[in-house]
Structure 1
Amino acid sequence: MSRSKLVIRDNSTLRAQYESLRQGDIIVGRLRLRESEEPLLLDLCIRGVHLIPSGLSQLASRSKTFQTALFAQYMLPLTRAIHSHHDLVNAISDYEKNAITAVVTKLDRRNAGMGVHLWPSVEEVFTHASLGNIPFPFVLQPFMPYSRDIRVVFLDDYIEAYWRHNPHNFRNNLHQGGQSKPCELSPAQLKLCRQVMKRGQFPYGHLDIIVTEEKKFYLGEVNLRGGIRGAQISPADYQARVEAIHQQLLDTYLK
């Protein structure tokens, strides 16, 4: 028997209706899932349930190592996900061949700079990982000592960018002591943001762009949510724009 499309807006209703969901039904808002429940996103997509925001963007926002798989072509060269000691052994060789010493690791599911660590070499990372001091998986990338970050808030036709820089700490996060200043994206930087969002099916997002001393730029990471400290947009306006994007996508799926 046919029925109208279900529109689900909260996790309680989702869990109550999960088995009865059909192709064309719609879930609005990020799903609150434990790490072990993330395969539900795949199940919903296979069943033809529409997710707002997309299942791919939700999963990418939860995992930095997954982002490395999706966006490697936009990130610093030799950025890679490390899942095992074997991956680290391979990284030691590759980094040595490219004369890279200092590196940064990012723990997979930490935010706000709390899982970011600086190391003098990949060999040092390998030693600590072998002793159980670093949990797998994590992201490994070259350390750029004089780089700065651009935080980009991308909400449909609203795009705001600002520098984040910390002269006393390699972590540029504002709550880690970083400073902010509005900036204007170059056409090439804006193109990079759009390419990343298209690849990850992000309807909106917060992107961190790394700008090196040589003025080259790369994706640091992207998330559906992020702090707007340093941004000019107000929390109320921000939330209203996110809800408008959700509604626009919902209207499209209901047609």
Structure 2
Amino acid sequence: MRPPWIIVTNRAFRNYFPHLGPQDLILGILALKHGEEYLYTDLYARGVKAYPSLLAQYLSRAKCFQAEIFKEFMIPETTVVRDRHDLIRLLNHFQAQGIKEVVTKQNRFNCGLGIHRWDNLETLYNVACFGNLSYPFVVQPFLPGAFDVRVVILGDYVEAYTRKNPHNFRNNLFFGAKAEAYPLNDEELSFCRRVMARGQFPYAHLDLLVTEDGRFFLSEINLRGGLKGARLDQEKYQAKIDALHRAFLEKFLKEHPEAVVKE
């Protein structure tokens, strides 16, 4: 039997992919192309180990997947719409609940580019039916007055900052929002840790949506994210990521000293 392999580059992953098994480790985030996400399923089925986890890597790529897995942590009535039938059912349900304004999130967009606000679901339905909105997408009730909090958790390191834009409901810093430090309380931190545990995230950038009355919900989570507004600069951030990866590698090598690194 061969020794365990430690895959540390995307080139090595491509070269050795057919032969990977439960004794092997993929260290680092895979650079899969759009449409290759099925590889996560195959790797998981074969028992291949990964750091960060395969689940966390997949979740970081798809807002619809997040809305399914983290539904209990998100705004009530958060729904994934996959086709016109889902949308018409949701329209009926939201109208019965008195929900008018909604927000949609396109599946693979970042930096606020895939977020749209609608006065009502009827307008959304009409636009989607004419082919101007690609399925699938996430629909959530719009919460007026809510603001974003970005939480960065890297092992024991935690920082949080608000992102507020008085001129645009998109609170992304690239759309003119201003950042300032946010005093994350124990309840909010515990919430973030639970989200990370559910998605098997060893580290994360989490976006919380905080309402005027103090409630908070998960907006989205990612293994990576922009640092604009954070105290950490890119160099220090990368050093912390590298330290987490190195610690996991050392633990793996302690258990499997015969392992071979593949680059």
Partners of 2:158 and 2:181 in 1: CA distance: 12
| 1:111 paired residue number | 110
SS at match of 2:249: helix
**Alpha-carbon contact 1:24-1:253 (below 8 Å) kept:** no
Q: Could you tell me the TM-score, scaled by structure 1's length?
A: 0.97
**Alpha-carbon contact 1:29-1:53 (below 8 Å) kept:** yes
What aligned pairs does 1:45-64 form with structure 2 within 5 A after superposition? 45-64=44-63
Amino acid across the alignment from 1:174: L
Partners of 1:251 and 1:70 in 2: CA distance: 31
CA-CA distance at 1:161 after TM superposition: 0.2
| 1:163 paired residue number | 162
| 2:123 paired residue number | 124
| 1:11 paired residue number | 10
| 1:219 paired residue number | 218
SS at match of 1:43: helix
Structure 1 stretches of 4+ moved >6 Å: none
Amino acid across the alignment from 1:223: N
SS at match of 1:220: strand
Partners of 1:218 and 1:193 in 2: CA distance: 10
Larger CA deviation: 116-125 vs 15-24: 15-24
What aligned pairs does 1:175-214 form with structure 2 within 5 A after superposition? 175-214=174-213
SS at match of 1:87: helix
Partners of 2:175 and 2:158 in 1: CA distance: 24
**Alpha-carbon contact 1:156-1:204 (below 8 Å) kept:** yes
Ranges in structure 1 where 5+ consecutive residues have no aligned partner: none
- Identity, % of aligned positions: 44
CA-CA distance at 1:251 after TM superposition: 2.5
| 1:230 paired residue number | 229
Give per-residue Cα distances to partners, 1:52-111, cap 9 Å, x unaligned: 110000000000000001000000001111101111111112211221111100100000
Give per-residue Cα distances to partners, 1:121-147, cap 9 Å, x unaligned: 111111111000100000100111211
**Higher relative contact order, chain-length normalized (CA < 8 Å, sep 6+):** 2
**Alpha-carbon contact 1:50-1:253 (below 8 Å) kept:** no
Partners of 1:138 and 1:233 in 2: CA distance: 32
Aligned-residue Cα RMSD (Å) equals 0.9
CA-CA distance at 1:48 after TM superposition: 1.6
* Equivalent residues, number: 254
